[in-house]
Amino acid sequence: MTSPPTAPPPQAGESAMGTVQRQIDATVDVMRQNIVKMTERGEAVEQLLEKSDDLTQTSTEFSSRSRQLERHMLWQNWKRTLIVLGIVALVWLFAYLIDRTHTLFWVVFALSIVGALVYGYVLFREYRAEHGSGADGRGVEMFTRRTPSV
C-alpha cells in the first residue's frame, strides 16, 4: 500500500476545519488509488489463474495424446514384425511343400527375401525423412504418375 498522507501545510487565512477537510480529502484520494491498484492486482491474479488452468488442461491433453501416440507406434512396430514373420513363414511353408529335400536352401531364400524387404523399407524411410512424408504434398513425386504438360 501507499504511505499515509502527510498533512498539507496550512494556508494563510485557513481555519482548522479547512485543514482537517484537506487532510480528509488527501486520505480519500490515497484510498481511491489503493482500491484501483487492488482491483488491477485482482484482475492480474484472475488472468494468471486462467492461464494456469489452460496450461494444466493443455498439459493433460498432451500427456494423453503422447500416450496414444506411443501405443500407436508400438502397435505399428508389432504389425510390421508380424507381417515380416508371416511372409517368412509363408515363403518357407510354400517352399517346404514344393521341395522337402532342400529345406536349408528355402530357409536361406526366405531370410534373404526378408532382408531385401527390410532394406527396402529402411531406404523408403530415409527417402521420406529427406523429402517429406507426403502429408503436405511434398515427397510423393516418385509415387505419382506424371502427366505431360501442355
Q: For 105-150, what is each residue's pLDDT tens digit? A: 777 777 887 788 888 888 887 777 777 665 554 544 544 555 555 5
User: What are the phi and psi torsion angles at 95 (to 5°)?
Assistant: -65, -40
Look at residue 35 and tell me if it is in a domain.
yes
Segment 20-37, tens digit of pLDDT:
888 999 999 999 999 999
State residue 27's pLDDT score: 93
Q: What is the pTM of this model?
A: 0.41
Look at residue 20 and tell me if it is in a domain.
yes
User: Measured between alpha carbons, how far is residue 5 from residues 16, 21, 23, 78 in Å?
Assistant: 17, 13, 8, 76
State residue 7's pLDDT score: 55
The residue segments making up the domain with residue 133 are 16-142
Look at residue 4 and tell me if it is in a domain.
no
User: Measured between alpha carbons, how far is residue 47 from residues 38, 41, 54, 55, 60 in Å?
Assistant: 14, 10, 11, 12, 20
State residue 141's pLDDT score: 52
